[in-house]
Structure 1
């Protein structure tokens, strides 16, 4: 490290940057994909449910404020919200959302002795096995990112 200070470079500048741009990009893409799927599911809900959920979670509005928009009580808005969230938990929507909640989704699904008898693994073990596969998925994502960069450079 001799000579670093002589040319104006500090030791902090010589240390590799801990930010991982590829991971940041992949995380952002995954969040955007999740957002697209989630709000697409919300938009398929009935009646006022999509509007209430969007106002509540995107607009961060209170139940009272949303109720004032519709001329209904806080409790009525709460019932609409609760019904919408229950609807999103149904298989038609949950199947689209659970892939984004890998470990959580795996731990919630397939518990019990019947599942154990057919797979001989608990939900925790299945989740751990899934995470082991994470490195392979990460490599695939990085390869995709590299091919994307190469295509952009050729333009």
Structure 2
């Protein structure tokens, strides 16, 4: 029978993960607030829409792609609608669902803010890692993600 406690290395790794999970979003939020008055969650919604064909996604697909609950996404999209960066429309194919559509003003925000966001991610994460560490981190996170979401229905789709 295994110990109910984490071993020393697991404990150090877990605590480092907890600290990164708290500090990295705070750092990215600060950059996005400074540059555009946006939260990271709102930026991710805009970015996912900017990458989608036609700049639109069904709300359910956007929630999954942006790794947000339906409720949180609805609030995020409402705030983006107030700013004129997103609009909601009925889905053309079935008229039952809603589609979030990136407006021209929203696309302008993404294009203006993306370089600073990429720089913040690069500085906050990748500047501290060697290429081998980056590859090892990708492999480790992918393994955890595959354990948490084995059928890949909850996660954002990988680019490419």
TM-score range, shorter chain: 0.3 to 0.5
Q: Which structure carries more relative contact order (alpha carbon 8 Å, separation 6+)?
A: 2
Structure with the bigger percentage of strand: 2
Larger Cα Rg: Structure 1 or Structure 2?
1
TM-score by structure 2 length?
0.37
Structure with the bigger percentage of helix: 1
TM-score by structure 1 length?
0.38
